[in-house]
Amino acid sequence: MDYQLIEYLSECLTPERKELFERVLDQRTRYLTVVLEDIFQPQNASAVLRTVDCFGLQDVHVIENRNHFTVDREVAMGASKWLTVKKYKEKENNSLNAIRHLRRQGYRIVATTPHEGDTNLEDFDLEKGKAALIFGTELTGISEVVQNEADEFLKIPMHGFTESFNISVSAAIILHHLTLRMRGNPAIDWQLSDHDQAAIKLSWIKRTLKRSDLLEQRYQELKNEGKL
């Protein structure tokens, strides 16, 4: 990680923007991550991205089996600009590939479902380790692959006639509850590492500055000339 480049580019930010980046990074986490499997409604997809950003998660994993993931910019309110979005969109095995990737990253695979016998939201064990929360398609929910591969199943307790919440509402309820508990538990190491913070900060700076590529090119020139 080129920390000197971060410092160089940061000089082009306003003091207010630099302070905002530091404040948001301090609350950012990869302890929880969201996985969206085959979401086809742009408004739902965008609302989830906005929710993820608001609750301080950094990563979203997008599985595209049959449906292309489309963002409604008005709904997302620019949230995707600050998130790390990884897409899985090969011809086949996208769900399985995503699960394998997440397991290599140390995540347990948690499928969100409204079914009986699953763990209620308030009983979910956060101290057990990092969790990837999978939300399925609007009509049929999680795929058979996710059902077979999931380590745990999580549900929001329901007390009405309707079987489930809209996906964006479900994500908001679950993330509010879990992030509140996560941040209030001193036994959970949920904050980003220094390396991750630096890498994310650099990506944010590049997305913020106009023609950041030219600024980076100038930085390399100065560095090669021994002026930095």
- Which domains does the chain possess? 31-201 (3.40.1280.10)
Residue ranges with strand state E in the chain: 32-37, 59-63, 84-88, 108-112, 119-120, 131-135, 152-155
Take residue 2 and report the two structure tokens written for it.
């080129």
112 is in an annotated binding site: yes
Q: Is residue 16 over pLDDT 70? A: yes
Mean pLDDT, to the nearest integer, of 109-130?
90
156 is in an annotated binding site: yes
| Cα–Cα distance list, 36 to 40, 55, 167 (Å) | 10, 16, 10
Q: Is residue 222 over pLDDT 70? A: yes
Residue 165: predicted pLDDT: 85
Residue 199: predicted pLDDT: 97
Q: Is residue 198 over pLDDT 80? A: yes
| Cα–Cα distance list, 148 to 25, 55, 170, 171 (Å) | 35, 29, 22, 22
Residue 25: predicted pLDDT: 98
Q: Which one is predicted more confidently, 72 or 163?
A: 163
Arithmetic mean of pLDDT over the chain: 91
Residue 68: predicted pLDDT: 76
Q: Is residue 77 over pLDDT 70? A: no
Digit-coded pLDDT (tens) for 99-116: 999 999 999 999 998 766
**How many Cα neighbours within 13 Å face the side chain of 223?**
11
Q: Which one is predicted more confidently, 44 or 58?
A: 58
Model's pTM, two decimal places?
Answer: 0.92
CB atoms within 10 A of CB 80: 18
